[in-house]
Every structure is written in structure tokens, then in C-alpha cells.
Amino acid sequence: MNGDGSRSSAEVYALTGTALALRGAPYKTAGADPNGFDCSGFTWYVFAQHGITLPRDVRQQFQSGTPVTPDRLAPGDLVFFSTVAPGPSHVGISIGGDEFVHAPSSSGVVRVEHLNSGYWSPRLVGVRRVGISN
């Protein structure tokens, strides 16, 4: 992170590149490596590749970093959704615009989706910005 707490474009590019390179990796309950991911295992793994330690659990990840309003969403931010339970129960990584990459159990592989879709938009419960180390 820069001294003002911001992330450089190179840091963001590297982080989102890591996330996108994992597209197609299978879903696996409690998975946290390229052999299989669950949603929080995916975010935990991607950030760990860049020296960022996240908690392993979705709800604990939701407590990490700094809250960001959805209108300030930036690539590399964590996006949280309420899917199977009230509150944050699913997490992905913003890659810019209205797109995010995540490990959804429904499709079985890591993939990119749109935040503004009819499914995801009403389920968004928060955005968090966590630091990317130099």
C-alpha cells in the first residue's frame, strides 16, 4: 500500500490477474487451493499470493479492512453477499466495472459475474477494501 493507504495500479493489476488466472478451478467445500475452492478459500488464497493475510471465514473477512460504499467500489475490493443465510455468506473480488470473480457453488467453477445482475445486485451486503503489500 502507498503511504496514504491507497493501492497502486500495479498491485491491483497483479491481484486481479491472480484471481482471473484461477477461472475454471473447481468448487470444493472448504477448499482453499487451485485443486478446489469455496468462496472464502478463493479470496483467502488470492490475497495470500500477494502477502495479504485474510481470515479464512466469510464473516471474519467481512470484518477485515475498511468498509467502502458500493459507489466507491474499486478493483481488488472484496464484495459480500447474503445468499444462504442473513448477513454476509458469500464473497468475491471486484475486477472493475460491475464485474467480480468468485467461487460459486452453483456452477462448480471459479468465474466472473456481474454485480448488477438480477441475482447478485439485491444480495450485496457490503464492500471491504483490504491492503495490498508492497
Given this model, what pLDDT does residue 3 score? Answer: 40
Mention every residue, 6+ apart, whose C-beta is less than 8 A from residue 17: none
Please classify residue 127 by burial: count the beta carbons closer than 10 Å to its beta carbon, then call 0-12 exposed, 13-18 middle and 19+ buried. buried
**Could you say which of 90, 111, 128, 129 is catalytic?**
90
Type of residue numbered 115: L
Confidence of residue 8 (pLDDT cuts 50, 70, 90): confident
Q: Would you list the domain boundaries of the chain?
A: 9-129
Using left for φ > 0, alpha for ψ between -120 and 50, and beta otherwise, residue 13 falls in: alpha
Mean pLDDT of all residues in the chain? 91
- Strand, helix or coil for residue 39: helix
**Could you say which of 32, 39, 46, 93 is catalytic?**
39
The reply to whether 50 belongs to the active site is no
The reply to whether 114 belongs to the active site is no
Helices (H) and strands (E) in the chain, counts: 3, 8
**Could you say which of 43, 54, 91, 102 is catalytic?**
102
What is the pLDDT averaged over residues 51-55? 94
Q: Which fold has domain 9-129?
A: endopeptidase fold (from Nostoc punctiforme) (3.90.1720)
Radius of gyration of the chain (CA): 13
> Is residue 11 predicted with pLDDT exceeding 70?
yes
The reply to whether 102 belongs to the active site is yes
Its pTM stands at: 0.92
> Is residue 107 predicted with pLDDT exceeding 80?
no
Provide the sign of the torsion angle of the four alpha carbons 40, 45, 47, 51, taken in this order. positive
Nearest to 101 by CA among 91, 92, 88, 114: 92
Q: Are the beta carbons of 73 and 79 closer than 8 angstroms?
A: yes
